[in-house]
């Protein structure tokens, strides 16, 4: 492996301040920025809309969309004078996700927990300055957010994003916030103001809690998991109604649950990345069970039995991780 590849493997998704602008071929970076604009298979965008979303000159967007259309990554719709994702991009995404049966198993684990907690659970991955839901689960009776697989949210607005930044090596995380400040200054300022507190929480408790970031009514708690397959951290996040869960209840009830769920999914990911069979992956420990207890009259019937959190854990790993 060449020196540059070794550096990227060691440090994962780096901000341009870390790698140096000379490492980035701008036209390639901009082409991917354009493709990111098309959230959802049915998204239809014109050059002007893409220009506004990407912050690129319309002339640059026009040249790139023409090239991407010739390559099959985009398809032009003459009647609308707009573009949508092309057949080549769909085929590429399909081939990249083929064989990832572990995600189906992860979805099952998320749903098991979602049925016991009145909230939502996501399995997310970073994409530049956003987190993207790879899998998502919620119980029928759950209140709060209604995201879907493929939904994107700014890192500064979710517990998943705060956790991802806190898990990175300090210099890499700081550089990513610095880069983000040029395109998303409000989100970068939120992260900068909480990054040290988030790092301490991750070291002391194994998770990060963020309240009122995306919605004033939602509190999120998240844990990072290192993925050898993607060479970055993926994040499991649980969102609950703030009115139902104060800080003490988050720590005593949800904290142990998400740590155990994170451990379970980590084993599944490690086994899958080691080439083990689906049967072996599915033998990972089951998701935690919340044991119901008899409640005094008038108490919330969704109240779950509490468990004391385990001893504080620290993140430590090689290859630029902690």
Q: What is the mean pLDDT of residues 95-124?
A: 80
Q: What pLDDT was estimated at residue 164?
A: 97
Q: Got the DSSP string for 24-85?
A: --HHHHHHHHHHHT--STT--B-HHHHHHHHT--HHHHHHHHHHHHHTTSEEEETTTTEEEE
| pLDDT per position as a tens digit, 236-263 | 999 988 888 888 899 999 999 999 999 9
Helix, strand, coil percentages (3-state) for the chain, rounded to 5, are 45, 15, 35
> Which position has the higher pLDDT, 146 or 151?
151
Split at pLDDT 50, 70, 90, the class of 54 is: confident
Lookup: tokens for 100: 């990832």
Give every CB contact of residue 236 below 8 A, 6+ residues apart in sequence. 110, 121, 122, 123, 124, 222, 223, 225, 258, 261, 262, 265
CB 220 within 8 A of CB 131: no
Q: What is the mean pLDDT of residues 205-233?
A: 89
Helix/strand/coil (H/E/C) assignment for every residue in 168-199: CCHHHHHHHHHHHHHHCHHHHHHHHHHHHHHH
Q: What pLDDT was estimated at residue 214?
A: 73
Split at pLDDT 50, 70, 90, the class of 72 is: confident
Q: What pLDDT was estimated at residue 292?
A: 37
Query: Distance between CA 113 and CA 121 in Å, rounded?
Result: 8
Lookup: tokens for 259: 């740590």
In a 13 Å sphere around the CA of 67, the CA atoms on its Cβ side amount to 13
Q: Is the pLDDT of residue 86 over 90?
A: no
pTM of the predicted protein model = 0.68
Give me the chain's average pLDDT, please. Answer: 77
Q: What is the mean pLDDT of residues 22-41?
A: 79
Q: What pLDDT was estimated at residue 266?
A: 92
């Amino acid at each position: 492996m060449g020196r540059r590849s070794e550096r990227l493997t060691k440090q994962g998704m780096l901000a341009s301040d870390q790698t140096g602008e000379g490492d980035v071929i701008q036209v390639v970076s901009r082409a991917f920025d354009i493709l990111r604009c098309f959230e959802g298979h049915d998204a239809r965008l014109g050059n002007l809309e893409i220009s506004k979303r990407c912050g690129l000159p319309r002339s640059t967007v026009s040249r790139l969309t023409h090239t991407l259309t010739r390559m099959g990554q985009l398809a032009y719709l003459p009647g609308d004078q707009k573009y949508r994702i092309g057949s080549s991009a769909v085929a590429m995404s399909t081939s990249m996700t083929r064989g990832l049966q572990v995600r189906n198993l992860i979805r099952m684990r998320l749903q098991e927990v979602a049925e016991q907690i009145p909230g939502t659970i996501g399995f997310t991955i970073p994409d530049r300055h956003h987190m993207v839901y790879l899998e998502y689960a919620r119980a029928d009776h759950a209140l709060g957010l209604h995201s879907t697989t493929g939904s994107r949210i700014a890192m500064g607005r979710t517990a998943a994003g705060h956790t991802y930044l806190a898990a990175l090596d300090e210099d890499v995380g700081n550089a990513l916030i610095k880069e983000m400040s040029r395109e998303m200054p409000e989100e970068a300022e939120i992260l900068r103001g909480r990054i040290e507190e988030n790092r301490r929480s991750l070291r002391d408790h194994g998770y990060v809690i963020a309240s009122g970031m995306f919605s004033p009514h939602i509190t999120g708690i998240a844990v990072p998991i290192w993925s050898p397959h993607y060479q970055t951290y993926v994040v499991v996040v649980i969102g609950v109604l703030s009115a139902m869960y104060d800080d003490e209840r988050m720590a005593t009830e949800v904290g142990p649950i998400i740590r155990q769920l994170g451990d379970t999914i980590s084993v599944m990911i490690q086994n899958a990345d080691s080439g083990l069979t689906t049967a072996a992956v599915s033998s990972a420990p089951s998701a935690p069970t919340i044991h119901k207890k008899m409640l005094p009259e008038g108490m919330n019937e969704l109240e779950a039995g509490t468990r004391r959190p385990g001893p504080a854990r620290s993140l430590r790993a090689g290859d630029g991780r902690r």
